[in-house]
Amino acid sequence: MKLTSLRFLAVVVLLVGAAAFLEARSRPEQLPPRKMLEEFPHVLDAWVGRDLSIAEDVQQVLGADDYLVRLYQHSPDEPPIDLFIVFFNSQRTGATIHSPQNCLPGAGWAPIEQGRLTIELPDREPITVNRYIIAKGLDRQFVLYWYQAHGRVVASEYWAKFFLVADAIRINRTDGAMVRVLSPIGREESVQESEQRVVEFARRTYLQLGEFIPE
């Protein structure tokens, strides 16, 4: 058996065993104070945002305790940036974060490029996030997303689940969030220009998240 298969099997065994352990725990989780996502700044430097709504049936499927859907515009001649954040107070009872890898294809978007990207930050460690380019017909969109909880940013869904279990055991907390930044790639815009624009917005967004996603 290959080493990668052994590692994956070990993670699966750990998750199954820990899930049974978590199910048996009854001690309530204690979350640090946090601001609601509706208080997230509407103005990020030159970006100005307006809130969007989600249909009630979509909210029910989402199952989040708090969420934000907001469209930010930098200038009239640039494509807007769609910021989507979901936050769960607890993921013990079945409500859990949905991966954009499942949601976007369901809306008709197909990935044409995927990988990871590192975002440099001022005076702190860089973060590594998921980088996607998706397409529907002639339209393309540039997507960044990551999982965030307890001061940790994770790109991998598997590692996010691993840390979810580990933190439940270690600090009795399963709260967490998913942050997605998405923008159309303009017809007169290169992928590199779109990436630069979206990465800069994601950087400024992340630097504001500490009050909304507790460590």
Give the pLDDT score at 151: 93
- Cα separations (Å) of 49 from 54, 65, 135, 139, 143? 16, 22, 24, 23, 18
Q: Does pTM top 0.75 for this prediction?
A: yes
The torsion defined by the Cα of 44, 33, 85 and 80, in degrees rounded to 10, comes to: -10
Give the pLDDT score at 135: 93
CA 195 from chain centre, in angstroms, equals: 17
Domain boundaries, the chain: 3-211
Going by pLDDT thresholds of 50, 70 and 90, the confidence category of residue 59 is confident
Residue with tokens 């989402």: 62
pLDDT digits (tens, 9 = 90+) for 67-87: 999 999 998 889 999 999 999
